[in-house]
Structure 1
Amino acid sequence: MPYKIEVREDLTMREIEVHEYKTLHNLVTINKAYLAEFLPWANFETEPQDYIETLEEWKRSNGESSMMTLGIYYEDHLVGLCGFNTINRMNKSADIGYWLAESHTGKGIMTDCVKSLIKYGYHVLGLNRIAIIVDVENTASIKIPERLGFVREVKMKEYFYRNKGFYDGFMYRMTRLEWDALKK
């Protein structure tokens, strides 16, 4: 059964179907310069068919292994990705990764998606701790965990490699108890 999270009326997260490989390639290509500032993989030269194997692997891995990758669909159009980059089932912990097309920033899309993914992680997957690791220079990405009440736990020295250099990262965390306390 494909994974799907209804975020709000105009916004859904779900597994990207393999037949959508051209759509994903096009989205990355259009946003290449914007994404590559903090996501070096966006600079890789790819052909649409290069995404077929990736989508097949995501579909196999979702829910069966240590990750979950979902497409973000705003008004039924793919506009980004959000998911658990890693899920440690033994320790009941995970970390979230995300990116969004530049044309869809500033609409609350990513904040709402991350919030829905957190709820899914706690209530469906039974997680206890969720982390978000962001580049210290990515101010837009930093706003997401801060807006949602995450605690900045640590600054990680030279955690990210991009543009031929190393950059620090902030690790934010939210435990299930902290999340529940925020909801009261």
Structure 2
Amino acid sequence: MMIREMNNDITLRSFTVDDSEELFQLTDRSREYLGKWLPWIDYTKEVNDTKEWIQASLKGVVETGGYIKTAAIIYKGSIAGTIGFNIIDQTNKSGVIGYWIGEDFQGKGIMTQACKALIDYGFRELDLNRVEINVATGNLKSKAIPERLGMTLEGTKRQVEKIGGKFHDHFVYSILADEWQK
């Protein structure tokens, strides 16, 4: 079980099936907000959908050889969102981070701290050379996170994600291990 305590208020930890109800309620409360940027929100209609996602994430730990793909972001004892490596390419030592946070938890620096901890985990424990974050070009709050972390804007993926019948472009940000060490 991965546990990363960033400060007294923010911790990353592995999900358990017991988190299903709380995570679903967070998703449901933030449905309209999250639906602007996340295509899976329309498929998360009940607690069991969240439970199945957590179970698949836990199964993924075994399939990856032991690294945690997705973690719960805990803020003052409550689940605030999720973060993880959507993709890890072991051959090329690179990973792509995905994340979301509930609307109630916006603007507290939680996601920036969580990304910082996950990037550090990727470089130090997974021996990655490159970490990438892809952000919808219109999602200004999310775009600010890789910028605050000193990541390099590499370019734009055009019409890479379809949400609500509309295609969205993504900015691609990255940072390399030797840049992170500085």
Shift in CA distance, 138/63, structure 1 to aligned 2, threshold 3 Å:
farther
Q: Is the 8 A contact 1:67 1:87 kept in 2?
A: no
Bigger drift between 111-120 and 7-16 goes to 7-16
TM-score, normalised to structure 1, is 0.93
Q: Distance in 1 between matches of 2:172 and 2:44?
A: 30
Give the residue type in structure 2 aligned to 1:12: T
TM-score, normalised to structure 2, is 0.94
Q: Could you say which residue in structure 1 is the equivalent of 2:28? A: 29
Q: Could you say which residue in structure 2 is the equivalent of 1:46? A: 45
Q: Could you say which residue in structure 1 is the equivalent of 2:16? A: 17
Displacement after TM superposition at 1:43 (Å):
2.4
Q: Which runs of 5+ in 2 are unaligned?
A: none
User: Does residue 7 of structure 1 match 2:6?
Assistant: yes
Q: Is the 8 A contact 2:4 2:12 kept in 1?
A: yes
Q: Secondary structure at the match of 1:62?
A: helix
Q: Distance in 2 between matches of 1:31 and 1:167?
A: 20
Shift in CA distance, 3/30, structure 1 to aligned 2, threshold 3 Å:
same
Displacement after TM superposition at 1:53 (Å):
2.0
Displacement after TM superposition at 1:46 (Å):
1.6
Any residues of structure 2 matched to 1:2-151 within 5 Å, and which? 2-62=1-61, 64-65=63-64, 68-151=69-152
Displacement after TM superposition at 1:44 (Å):
2.6
Displacement after TM superposition at 1:15 (Å):
1.1
Q: Per-residue displacement from partner, 1:113-152 (whole Å, max 9, x unpaired)?
A: 1001111110111100000001100000000000000000
Give the residue type in structure 2 aligned to 1:37: K
Displacement after TM superposition at 1:63 (Å):
6.5
Shift in CA distance, 63/119, structure 1 to aligned 2, threshold 3 Å:
farther
Displacement after TM superposition at 1:50 (Å):
2.2
Q: Secondary structure at the match of 2:6?
A: strand
Q: Per-residue displacement from partner, 1:74-125 (whole Å, max 9, x unpaired)?
A: 0110010011111111111000011111111111100001001111110111
Q: Distance in 1 between matches of 2:87 and 2:15?
A: 18
What RMSD, in angstroms, separates the aligned Cα atoms of the two structures?
A: 1.4
Aligned length: 180
% same residue = 36
